[in-house]
Amino acid sequence: MLIALGVTGGIGAYKAVEVARGLQKRGHEVVAVMTSSATRFVGAITFEAITQRRVITDQFEPGANADIEHIAIASTIDLLIIAPATANIIGKIANGISDDFLSTLYIATRAPVLVAPAMNTQMFAHEAVRRNLDTLAARGVRFVEPGEGYLACGWIGKGRLAEPDDIVAAAEAMLRPEGPLRGRRVLVTAGPTYEDLDPVRYLGNRSSGRMGFAIASEAARRGADVTLVAGPTTVDPPPVNQVVRVRGAEEMYRAVLSRAERMQVVIMAAAVADYAPAARAPQKVPKGGDTMTLVLKKTPDILAELGQRRVASGDGPLLVGFAAETEDVVARATAKREEKHADLIVANDVSRADAGCGVETNAVTIIGRNGVESLPVQSKTRIAAAILDRLEKLLSESPAKAGHYDRS
């Protein structure tokens, strides 16, 4: 998600650098907006280097479409954070004064706002400041309480900027509202894999990634901490906690296996190649005779490996697989569920024009240990919601460690 990080002129301004980094680590894009006094504490260049974006420092900067930029950013950001927020900016935004970029952005945006006040204890306790804070709170602004400790002015008390980690956590909580999957770590794979033949050619498939993206997005909406492992897709991935881009099956295998242990749910929506060229030619292969033979070798089956590990240890994430079938859909998918020791298999009839690869809709059958549920053609978003409803039920039935596997 895109977050505007407003930095004002307080001694804690240097900590905002850590806030920017923390947000980026969580997969967010950050645009820093500095007041002119903030630039006296930290250089704009520091934020520019970290955020990899131009830092907005002045509303009337010539040549930068400055007069409309705050409106453009105002409508694209998902969250506005002000950290540190001085008594001055709190006073301005509480009272609708917009005399610089940051205070104007506050007025112009409809994104939620998070404020991390930082000031001297006496100032923080002053009635004028308290009133402004109350006004903002009544308007829905959220706060990260200042910490207690040594202040730069030598006093001990409330006023020091909250720790960057706490600000990042508060931002995350605002972006990912309370939901039934809150606190659950979910890994979703999506898209095709490309298996390289030589530096310019590959074997791929027509998966667009939309089904996996819809699941990842819905899981995030329900409050889950989502890691998306995506093959090469042309559709952009949704904003989730972490997006890991991979190319081939082998790389996807490593990306998933190295993270699976920390997950409560792994959903394999990717169309992983079953075979890859036995060897990748280091140079472009020149044209030869009329026919050409490719030698392929089996790729590691990620879902089957996760299933095996869970059977061996009796513990591990809940596993959801997909099965792309063209005939005997339910029977084949049921067999796949058992072979791969998955909790759910979502079977796709890819012979239909309105379901499966490359289209916005899908029709699936969800096959569990004790039941088969067929969903008619509908948007991939609604299919994602139905799959997650089933998963939520499974999670609520599982004992303490969500992924405990019933060997039966």
The least distance separating ligand CTP from the CB of residue 236, rounded to whole angstroms, comes to 21
Query: What distance in Å separates the CA atoms of residue 195 and residue 174, rounded to the nearest whole number?
Result: 40
Q: Which range binds ligand CTP by CB under 6 A, 30-38, 227-235, 268-276, 282-290?
A: 268-276
Name which of 100 and 301 has its Cβ closer to ligand CTP. 301
The least distance separating ligand CTP from the CB of residue 31, rounded to whole angstroms, comes to 36
Q: Give the per-residue contact string, 67-86, with ligand CTP (x = CB under 6 A; - = no).
A: --------------------
**Is residue 322 a contact point for ligand CTP (CB under 6 A)?**
yes
Q: Which of 49, 72, 125, 153 is catalytic?
A: 153
**Is residue 268 a contact point for ligand CTP (CB under 6 A)?**
yes
Query: What distance in Å separates the CA atoms of residue 347 and residue 367, rounded to the nearest whole number?
Result: 7
The least distance separating ligand CTP from the CB of residue 278, rounded to whole angstroms, comes to 15
Query: What distance in Å separates the CA atoms of residue 337 and residue 343, rounded to the nearest whole number?
Result: 7
Query: What distance in Å separates the CA atoms of residue 101 and residue 36, rounded to the nearest whole number?
Result: 10
Query: What distance in Å separates the CA atoms of residue 180 and residue 60, rounded to the nearest whole number?
Result: 45
- Determine which residue in the list 16, 55, 111, 272 makes contact with ligand CTP, applying CB under 6 A: 272
Residue 153 bears catalytic tag: yes
Site for ligand CTP in 324-383 (CB under 6 A): 324, 336
The answer to whether 5 and 18 have CB atoms below 8 angstroms apart is no
Name which of 298 and 393 has its Cβ closer to ligand CTP. 298
Q: Assign residue 291 a region (left: φ > 0; alpha: ψ between -120 and 50; beta: otherwise).
A: beta
**Is residue 4 a contact point for ligand CTP (CB under 6 A)?**
no
Site for ligand CTP in 282-321 (CB under 6 A): 299, 301-303, 321
The least distance separating ligand CTP from the CB of residue 249, rounded to whole angstroms, comes to 5
Query: What is the chain's percent helix, strand, coil content, to nearest 5?
Result: 35, 25, 40
Site for ligand CTP in 191-250 (CB under 6 A): 249
The answer to whether 169 and 177 have CB atoms below 8 angstroms apart is no
Query: What distance in Å separates the CA atoms of residue 35 and residue 6, rounded to the nearest whole number?
Result: 8
Give which of 66, 105, 108 is closest to 89, Cα–Cα. 105
- The residues assigned a catalytic role are 153
Site for ligand CTP, rule CB under 6 A: 249, 268, 270, 272, 274, 299, 301-303, 321-324, 336
